Amino acid sequence: MTRTIVIGDGPAGLTAALFLARDPGHEVTVFGTDQTGLHWALLRNYPGAPDVLGDDLQRTLRQQATAAGAQLIDGKVSDLAASADADGFTVTAADGTTATGDYLVLATGKGSPKLARALGLQTGPEGVAADRDGRTAVERVYAAGRVSRPIRSHAVISAGAGAAAAIDILSREAGRDVTSWDSLPKEDT
């Protein structure tokens, strides 16, 4: 079983969790406080959801992620460490809850880059450096959403970044490129 820890429960983090949790060989733990800026938004440019309130979208994202099997832990992360054998990560919440994972997705919004720096990642006005799949300079660490794109962001861009990171993780684990195509119900095919 592959384990991924997602830090941040906005569009990027919850989309990554949703894609990963739907994979039967994957276990996902999301740490977050449900304090995303999405709560104060009216989204007029989110495909498939005309003029949706951010609160409503956030609630739907959380429901989808948990229904897919992601575990949401309500709490702020107080400690983050790479394991001694450099093959995993341990995250501890302020209440002492811990999780260990093979992969880590930072989706912490544009707030403090403290956790990124704890892993030795460079940060600046452009956020945490990551490629188009969210890979950072630290092996198995991804940055998605506003943490890697603080200036030019939108909920749909953040959600897409979370999906890209998840597909990259699934592809790495499968040893080949994978896709996440939607499919019609059996009676419609």
* Domain residue limits, the chain: 2-188
Q: Is the pLDDT of residue 27 over 70?
A: yes
From residue 79, give the alpha-carbon distance in Å to each of 30, 51, 82, 117, 163: 14, 38, 10, 12, 25
Query: How would DSSP label each residue in 93-136?
Result: ETTS-EEEESEEEE--TTS--HHHHHTT----TT-S---TT-B-
* Average pLDDT value for residue range 31-38: 91
Which among 64, 80, 58, 60 has a CA at the least distance from the CA of 20?
Answer: 64
- Asked whether 168 and 130 are in contact (CB, 8 A), the reply is no
Sorting pLDDT into bands at 50, 70 and 90, what band is 169?
very high
How much is the pTM? 0.92
Residue 112 has pLDDT above 70, yes or no: no
d(C-alpha 101, C-alpha 6), whole Å: 9
Model confidence pLDDT, tens digit, residues 67-108: 999 999 999 998 888 875 666 899 999 999 999 999 999 999
Contact 21, 110 (CB under 8 A): no
Rounded distance between C-alpha atoms, residue 45 and residue 155, angstroms: 9
Residue 67 tokens, joined: 């229904």
Task: Measure the CA–CA gap between 108 and 146, rounded to whole angstroms.
Answer: 7
For the residues 124-132, what does the mean pLDDT come to? 89
Its CATH class, for the domain covering 2-188, is alpha beta
Cα 156 versus chain centre, distance: 13
